[in-house]
């Protein structure tokens, strides 16, 4: 509601042509990094975001899907990336592909809607193919739609299969899936001389306005959550101690505490970005709202701060600029379950490694996977998981061996005591 009010106020007081801006957004290649605030203006960017949010909300209501933690995460993720890669047209082929998959497998589309919504991470493929070169042809549009439909059709079984690689320790599973799928599609396109020109297009003129809007929204979440939770923070400390592994906070703690956590995580994320010195823009909004969304489905203060620390430590002496550090820190919190399950030191290591990996994996999909950090997080989680499991199992085995030694020692002491007591009884007789 606050975002809508700010948007309407801006439209009333400014002469910006939002529909012309929206046209520019829709016809842009949308590859990493394309800030829609820079492309079409802040009014058009907010209009695009509100349209996409409304579209997904309509589908959730239409198919009577219960609002759980992962649904909230989906809403905020697609809303955030509407400032940064997704537009109201380039997401539609994925949904069509999802419908065809449901028909083909004789399943309910509502079972796959969340995965399909997340699969729009590959929306830049649609825009880049449709508007490839200086002149777009009818065949370009058809090819773009076919690619989107194909992705929507195969993404659900792929996501289920690739989940086993990181076992749920990457909260952005569809980001990892999109990275694998995007890399394969990009390889095929390059085979036929399809080349992507990288770009870095971000805005900087709305820094303070965006900080105020975001902070206001996050404070509002805390207030609403406080009210729903019987005007108290009771139970929030328990939520903060949750390891975040396969955790739906809505189902475990209710809406009140979940909203409080979302607001708190939003404010902490704002503080992190401010600390790095990065100005607020479209990609930063995507990172912030993704963190807030997944704060209903795994992220807490305790399991994300180690990730932030790890990214900051990795940035010292590295080639990463403030934008890379800020974005990697925000999206790197996909690794929060590692910190929650294996401890803060493991979280710091994961954050440190994430910054190293994320700066290199974008090459394989040509910047056409918006969830590049989710792809990186999946690789990091899959790499670290067996190592941390080995260490944990070894420590547990040591503890068991020590306990066995203690038990054997106590048994030996008890046996000696009993023998002495028997000897004393024999002497008395």
Q: pLDDT, tens digit, for every residue of 151-169?
A: 999 999 999 999 999 999 9
Across 102-129, average pLDDT: 94
**Residue 71 neighbours by CB under 8 Å, 6+ apart:** 60, 65, 114
pLDDT of residue 56: 97
**3-class secondary structure, 34:** strand
Among 99-103, 137-141, 326-330, which stretch is predicted with the lowest mean pLDDT? 137-141
- Does the pLDDT of residue 135 top 70, yes or no? no
Query: In the predicted model, what is the mean pLDDT of residues 89-109?
Result: 96
Query: So what's the pLDDT on residue 2?
Result: 57
- What does each C-alpha distance from 388 to 169, 342, 394 come to in angstroms? 12, 7, 10
pLDDT-derived band of residue 6, with 50, 70 and 90 as boundaries?
Answer: low
Span 373-398, pLDDT tens digits: 999 999 999 999 999 999 888 776 66
**98-112 mean pLDDT:** 96
Q: Where are the alpha helices (DSSP H) in 229-300?
A: 236-240, 249-276, 282-294
**Helices (H), ranges, 41-131:** 42-62, 69-80, 92-105, 113-119, 123-130
- Top-confidence residue, 148 or 399: 148
Residue 34 dihedral angles phi and psi, to the nearest 5°: -125, 105
CA dist list (Å): 384 to 40, 262, 269, 380, 416: 41, 27, 25, 6, 48
Q: What is the DSSP letter of 131?
A: T
User: Nearest 5°: phi and psi at 235?
Assistant: 95, -10
351 against 128, higher pLDDT: 351
In this predicted structure, the answer to whether residue 241 has a pLDDT above a threshold of 60 is: yes
Q: How far is CA 254 from the centre of its chain?
A: 21
Q: How confident is the model at residue 100 (pLDDT cuts 50, 70, 90)?
A: very high
CA 210 to chain centre: 20
Nearest to 326 by CA among 372, 377, 270: 270
What share of the chain has pLDDT > 70, as a percent?
88
Q: Can you tell me the distance from the alpha carbon of 146 to that of 160, in angstroms, rounded to the nearest whole number? A: 23
- Taking 60 as the threshold, does the pLDDT of residue 23 lie above it? yes
Q: Where are the domains of the chain?
A: 2-191, 207-389
User: Tokens in use for 416?
Assistant: 């000696």
pLDDT at 141: 87
* Residue 203: other Cβ atoms inside 10 A: 22
Give the position of tokens 């399943």: 107
User: Strands, DSSP E only, in 281-366?
Assistant: none
Q: Check pLDDT > 70 for residue 268.
A: yes
d(CA 172, CA 163): 10
Mean pLDDT of the chain: 89
Choose between 367 and 9: higher pLDDT: 367
Lowest average pLDDT, out of 169-173, 263-267, 417-421, goes to: 417-421
In whole angstroms, give the CA distance from residue 332 to residue 325: 10
User: What CA–CA distance (Å, rounded) separates 422 from 32?
Assistant: 82
Radius of gyration of the chain (CA): 25
**Residue 31 pLDDT class (50, 70, 90 cuts):** confident
Residues of the chain by 3-state class (helix, strand, coil), percent to 5: 75, 0, 25
Task: Provide the CB-side half-sphere exposure for 37 (13 A, CA).
Answer: 21
Structure tokens, 393: 């199992």
Give yes or no for residue 177 having a pLDDT over 90: yes
- Indicate if the pLDDT at residue 18 is higher than 80: yes
Mean pLDDT of 48-52: 94
Residue 21 has pLDDT above 60, yes or no: yes
Q: Which residues contact 66 (CB under 8 A, 6 or more apart)?
A: none
- Structure confidence by residue, pLDDT tens digits, 407-417: 766 666 676 77
């Amino acid at each position: 509601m606050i975002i809508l009010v700010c948007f309407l106020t801006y439209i009333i007081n400014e002469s910006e042509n939002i529909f012309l801006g929206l046209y520019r957004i829709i016809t842009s290649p949308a590859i990493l990094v394309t800030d829609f605030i820079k492309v079409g203006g802040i009014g058009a960017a907010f209009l695009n975001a509100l349209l996409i949010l409304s579209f997904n909300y309509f589908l959730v209501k239409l198919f009577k899907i219960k609002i759980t933690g992962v649904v909230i995460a989906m809403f905020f993720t697609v809303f955030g990336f509407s400032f940064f890669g997704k537009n109201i047209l380039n997401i539609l082929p994925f949904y069509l592909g999802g419908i065809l998959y449901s028909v083909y497998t004789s399943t309910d589309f509502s079972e796959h809607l969340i995965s399909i919504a997340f699969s729009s991470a590959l929306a830049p493929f649609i825009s880049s193919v449709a508007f490839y070169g200086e002149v777009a042809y009818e065949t370009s549009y058809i090819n773009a739609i076919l690619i989107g439909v194909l992705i929507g059709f195969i993404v659900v079984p792929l996501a289920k299969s690739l989940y086993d690689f990181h076992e749920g320790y990457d909260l952005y599973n569809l980001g990892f899936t999109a990275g694998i799928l995007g890399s394969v599609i990009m390889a095929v396109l390059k085979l036929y001389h399809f080349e992507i020109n990288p770009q870095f297009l971000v805005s900087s003129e709305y820094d303070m306005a965006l900080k105020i809007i975001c902070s206001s929204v996050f404070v509002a979440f805390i207030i609403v959550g406080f009210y729903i939770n019987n005007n108290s923070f009771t139970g929030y400390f328990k939520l903060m101690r949750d390891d975040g592994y396969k955790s739906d906070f809505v189902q475990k703690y209710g809406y009140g505490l979940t909203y409080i956590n979302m607001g708190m995580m939003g404010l902490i994320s704002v503080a992190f970005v401010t600390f790095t010195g990065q100005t607020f823009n479209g990609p930063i909004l995507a990172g912030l709202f993704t963190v807030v969304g997944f704060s209903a489905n795994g992220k807490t203060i305790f399991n994300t701060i180690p990730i932030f620390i790890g990214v900051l430590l990795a940035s010292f002496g590295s080639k990463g600029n403030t934008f890379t550090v800020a974005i990697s820190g925000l999206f790197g919190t996909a690794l929060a379950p590692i910190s929650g399950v294996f401890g803060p030191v493991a979280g710091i290591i994961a954050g440190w490694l994430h910054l190293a990996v994320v700066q290199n994996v974008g090459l394989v999909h040509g910047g056409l996977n918006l969830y590049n950090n989710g792809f990186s997080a999946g690789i990091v989680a899959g790499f670290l998981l067996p190592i941390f499991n080995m260490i944990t199992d070894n420590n547990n085995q040591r503890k068991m061996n020590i306990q066995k030694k203690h038990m054997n020692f106590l048994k030996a002491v008890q046996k000696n005591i009993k023998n002495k007591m028997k000897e004393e009884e024999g002497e008395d007789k």
